[in-house]
Amino acid sequence: MREVMKLGLALLAICAVAGLALGLTYNITLPRIKAQEEAARQRLYRDLLPGADVFKEVTIGSHKYQTGWQHGQRIGVIFTVTGKGYGGDIVIIVGMDPAGRVTGVSILSQSETPGLGSKAAQPPFLRQYAGKSTEELKLRIDGGKIDAVTAATITSRAVTSGVKSAVDQYLHDSEGLK
């Protein structure tokens, strides 16, 4: 019995020291981590809506959008959608100007085949979306203006229809604004 107590107390002491060290590290790093995450989010928004200097969350229709402002003028919105890819969900974030023309697309998370589908999450493919409007947002083989990534048609189609659904959602929600 005494042996068990001794071992228990020794383990308690080790865990207490480890817990204390972890708590301290957490508290020291928390504000820095929060600041870094916020900065990363701002950078991402800026890439998607070039020119915007302030971002505000606004409800348009029934959905929440990030709106980008420049000199007090709303120059666009950012909306996040989820598409069904080949290897699971693809989280896509889309920047649009007030008329619903795409200004930039970025992929937040995806689990597509490395080397094939994953190429559809990279700038050379995503750059194609800039300036496109809803009728052009289809793969070329489906009658649109987006070139699919070779050997990754399913992923390319998922991203493209995701972007299109974001644009259509915004056009639908912004009806009430006009």
Give the C-alpha separation, 117 to 158, whole Å: 10
Residue 153: name the closest of 108, 119, 111, 109 by CA. Answer: 119
Select 46 or 101, whichever has its Cβ closest to other proteins.
46
Size of the chain in residues: 178
CB of 81 to other proteins, least distance (A): 23
The correct pick among 1, 5, 7, 143 for binding other proteins (CB under 8 A) is 7
Which DSSP category does 175 fall into? G
Query: Terminus-to-terminus CA distance in the chain, angstroms?
Result: 79
Interface segment toward other proteins; rule CB under 8 A; list 3-11, 47-55, 72-80, 129-137: 3-11
Considering only residues 20 to 59 of the shown chain, the ones binding other proteins according to CB under 8 A are: 21-22, 25-26, 28-30, 32-33, 36, 40
Q: How many residues bind other proteins (CB under 8 A)?
A: 22
**Site for other proteins contains 6 (CB under 8 A):** yes
Give the C-alpha separation, 147 to 156, whole Å: 8
Select 20 or 141, whichever has its Cβ closest to other proteins.
20
**Site for other proteins contains 14 (CB under 8 A):** yes
Give the C-alpha separation, 95 to 166, whole Å: 9
Give the C-alpha separation, 147 to 99, whole Å: 23
**Site for other proteins contains 124 (CB under 8 A):** no
Select 116 or 130, whichever has its Cβ closest to other proteins.
116
CB of 99 to other proteins, least distance (A): 33
The correct pick among 82, 114, 117, 156 for binding other proteins (CB under 8 A) is 114
Which DSSP category does 141 fall into? G
- For residue 58, how many other CB atoms are within 10 A of its CB? 12
Give the C-alpha separation, 27 to 39, whole Å: 19
Site residues (vs other proteins, CB under 8 A): 6-7, 10-11, 14-15, 18, 21-22, 25-26, 28-30, 32-33, 36, 40, 113-116
